[in-house]
Chain A
Amino acid sequence: MRTPRALILLVATMLVPALISAQTYPSTTDPRSKLKSGRLDAGTASSNMRLVSFSPKPAQFDTARGLTFINSDMAFATHYVYQANFAGFQIWDVTDPAKPVIASVVECITSQGDPSIVGNLLFISAEGAGNRNDCAKGGVKDPKDHMAGVRIFDVTNPRAPKLIKNVQTCKGSHTHTVIPSPTDKNVVYIYVSGQQAARPATELAGCKNGTDPADPTNSLYRLDVIKVPLDHPERSEVVTGARIFTGLDPAPVTPNRPVGGAGRGRGGAPGDTSAAPLALPVHTGPRNCHDVTAYPAMHLLAAACTSYGLLVDITNPEKPVRLAAQSDTNFQGWHTAVFSNDGKKVVFTDEWGGGTGPMCQANSMMEMGGNTILTVGADKKYTQHAYFKLPAAQSAQENCVSHNGGIIPVPGRDLMVQGWYQGGVDVMDFTDADHPKEIAYFDRGSIDPLPGADIPIQPPTNGPGAGRTQGTIGGSWGAYYWNGMIYSSELDRGFDVLELQPSDQLSANAIAAAKLVTMTEYNPQSQPKFVWPAAFPVVRSYLDQLVRGKGLSAERTTAIAAALDAAEQKSGAARAVVLNVLAKQVDGDVSGAKDADRVRMMSAAIKALAAASK
């Protein structure tokens, strides 16, 4: 509201969306579209990846009661995977990814449980109205027992995690994002994305559920920011609010307008005597984010905030500055963001249907419930490119929409693996922002049996004991690449480990190059910058890409492949000499190459390998 000119521009961009290519409707003849249903015996289909292991839910969580016991997101450290659940979390020891072993199961009612790991501290998002300070079941009888914010566990002993602090926040924590302090190694900040209205001050002092976005005391239009002193996590507290929405509210109040001047108000439908007009103020500008993804190495934050995707400078995490805002009314709700490794692209997802709806059916709208690719210009503004949606039609029994994922570190390409709930695990190549495409997938049939109809609404079967036979929510909450494997959190079934397999879409060299990137800690919403060591698979990844994309003549790629083989036979200084000669030749290839950039990247990788061979 303070910057009317910017607002007008912003509205204008919303009203005149660029023409963006959408895919055709999903295939109904894809192998994924005809899989046998079943909870633990469903049919599977995969392409260019294989299931390494499946581990069912531990008994504590193995009870199907709607969403109460579903698995949610994951965090990674050393040989442990922290898999959250709406009723607690479980720690998997994945020393052998083919045989994950439970280190511990912690029962603690905490929807939705979004986890992050920093050293020995595990942070867990708490949002639901039934979450208690003491983790117990039974719901909140006294508001003072209500836990909405971020729980901090000490997991020094992964077999016996200890709850050490509940940090209460005004809007609770649907998700959260860890941002290391750029100046103090002992401090991390946690950006808290709360979906709910602010609690009243009577429940949590200092909270205010106001209606004015510009009111600095209003708790609604901000992300609470928690400061965590790592050596004294019990002193963690909310220190400020990230007010990244200011000026983004083009429609402060919605008065109800009379329709045609007559027939409004009283009168009533059959049986109605009280249809009074409503005049609720509705702020349609964003007041919260579903999820924000930090890229600390770039001091950037991509924030998925209901009706907008934002780009935010987080050089000072206590004083974030909004750089860009992209709106797309085709999106139901901007949900999650993932940066490309170079930070020049951001994938945003749309969680149409909230994750519980079957939004990947053959007739589901294509611009909704998928991904869109934005590029980040030198001016740090967004430009929207294509949409991407799962290309295989899913059944009405399969809750399906684009969901959480992360980058697969293949040099020279932008690959993202993500969960699509019961749409399965999917790998999208978005190297070309205008033509994203699928290169690998893993999928199971629906958990519930299939009825014959597309959109069934069954006749009521009332009375106690009329148990549900339909409506089980499941599938992959999130799928992430971590140290050579893809880990997927299955809401209803358990825990999957997958591995990429070489194909014409992704070479063995590319997979080997990705495996050279090792991490000791990984929170997908606090994105690490991947750096590849000097190695033959890295050079050959570029070479394979040049062959696949015909970015360099076949004659030259064949010669370079032979030269690399010869260099590998040598060692030390002799290898360096051969590689330097090769690099010079490759530099000479740049000008005549169709994909000059990639040839340059290959040359740099050859030079790095030469330097490492001395």
Chain B
Amino acid sequence: MLKRLASAPALSALLLGGPALAFAQGGSMTGMSGMSGMNMPGHIVIPKGAIYTVADVQFMQGMIAHHAQAIYMSRMAEAHGANPRVLKLANKIDQSQVPEIRIMQGWLRRYGQYAPDTSSWRTMQMPGMLTAAQLKELGAATGVAFDRAFLNLMIQHHNGALKMVDDLLAAPLAAQETDVNVFANDVVAAQTAEIGIMQQLLSQLPAN
């Protein structure tokens, strides 16, 4: 079962948006398709008098892709034989980040900005996100090897989220809109704590 999942056709199905990513939007295979008009990445218009900035919009758009990849990674855990504690953490990340994507999409739509969907991680590259090679490696791993790869890569991924918040906060006039401010703080609180948990879990894995 696991071997078959890791075989080439199955793996490519996973990578390209097969049924494993159950909540991806049907039809559109990329986060950028179907766009028209002004509100698309790279062409952000901020209305006069708005309290949010281009950096806020880019942060929310980018974090959707970032979260979507974390969810994708987390949903691999069960089929790849993750140990129960790693699986629990993966479920937690999944359950935490799905509603956060909704929050980000809701925020972008409220301000008339382009809201990427959950397939956007395949085309948008944000700090800490896995490379194709890393994804391949994770997809090929099972059992303890998966646990180790998952934890290392998710720590990298979470560090990237923290960097995204740092970059946001360093941008002039950014993160003053209340929802962005609250959300960015929540990302730091949640993901810093999870990095701590993942470090502990890593230290408990059997040696190579």
Contacts and interface: CB of A to CB of B under 8 A. Distances in A.
B173 interface: yes
B109 A129 contact: no
Interface residues of A, number: 85
A221 interface: no
B195 interface: yes
B3 interface: no
Interface in A234-273: 251, 254, 256-257, 259-260, 262-273
Interface in B83-115: 88, 91-92, 95-96, 98-103, 105-107, 109-110, 112-115
A466 B109 contact: yes
Interface residues of B, number: 83
B82 to A, nearest CB: 15
A569 interface: no
A482 interface: no
B156 A256 contact: yes
Interface string B156-171: 1001101100000100
Given A129-B175, A282-B195, A462-B37, A353 B99 contact: yes
Interface string A426-462: 0000000000000000000000000000011111111
Nearest to B88: A365
Contacts of A363: 95
B181 interface: yes
B204 A357 contact: no
B137 A259 contact: yes
A262 to B, nearest CB: 8
Interface in B117-138: 117-118, 121-125, 127-137
Interface stretch (A134-142, A183-191, A604-612): A134-142
Chain A, interface SS category: loop
A455 B153 CA distance: 26
A67 interface: yes
Given A270-B132, A275-B129, A468-B110, A251 B196 contact: yes
A284 interface: yes
Contacts of A254: 155, 159, 195, 199
A121 to B, nearest CB: 26
A4 interface: no
B131 A269 contact: yes
B182 A259 contact: no
Nearest to B32: A271
Nearest to A455: B98
A521 B192 CA distance: 37
Contacts of B160: 278
Contacts of A377: none
Given A282-B159, A352-B96, A364-B95, A457 B110 contact: no
Chain B, interface SS category: helix
A76 interface: no
Nearest to B175: A129
Contacts of A357: 96, 99-100, 103
A592 interface: no
A256 B199 contact: no
A269 B135 contact: yes
Contacts of B14: none
A459 B24 CA distance: 10
A370 interface: no
A465 B110 CA distance: 8
Contact of B193 (A267, A279, A284): A284
A354 interface: yes
B25 interface: yes
Interface string B188-200: 0110110111011
A217 interface: no
Most-contacted residue by chain B among A256, A262, A263 (CB, 10 A): A263
Contacts of B174: 129
A277 interface: yes
B189 to A, nearest CB: 5
B195 A264 contact: no
A130 B193 contact: no
A572 interface: no
A270 B133 CA distance: 11
Interface string A459-479: 111111111101100000000
A354 B189 contact: yes
Nearest to A109: B178
A364 B195 CA distance: 21
A471 B190 contact: no
B101 A457 contact: yes
A471 B189 contact: no
B121 to A, nearest CB: 8
Contacts of B7: none
Contacts of B118: 457
Nearest to A86: B178
Contacts of A278: 127-128, 156, 159-160, 163
Given A195-B189, A332-B96, A462-B114, A356 B182 contact: yes
Given A269-B125, A274-B125, A284-B199, A140 B176 contact: yes
Nearest to A269: B132
B178 A457 contact: no
Nearest to A266: B131
Contacts of B163: 278, 280
B159 A280 contact: yes
A365 B136 contact: no
Contacts of A263: 131, 133-134, 136-137
A203 to B, nearest CB: 12
Given A129-B175, A259-B149, A269 B122 contact: yes
A368 interface: yes
A368 B109 contact: no
A128 B176 contact: yes
Contacts of A67: 178-179, 182
A462 B45 CA distance: 13
Interface in A273-310: 273-275, 277-280, 282-285, 290, 306-307
A197 interface: yes
A358 B99 contact: yes
Interface in A341-389: 352-354, 356-359, 363-365, 368
A46 interface: no
Nearest to A141: B173
Contacts of B204: 15
A471 B107 CA distance: 9
A139 B131 contact: no
Given A254-B199, A268-B125, A270-B122, A306 B176 contact: no
A139 B195 contact: no
Given A14-B200, A457-B25, 17 more contacts: A66-B177, A251-B199, A256-B155, A259-B148, A260-B149, A264-B133, A268-B132, A271-B124, A275-B125, A275-B130, A280-B162, A284-B192, A354-B183, A354-B190, A364-B95, A455-B98, A462-B113
11 contacts: A14-B200, A128-B176, A129-B175, A140-B173, A259-B152, A264-B131, A278-B159, A284-B199, A333-B193, A455-B23, A455-B99
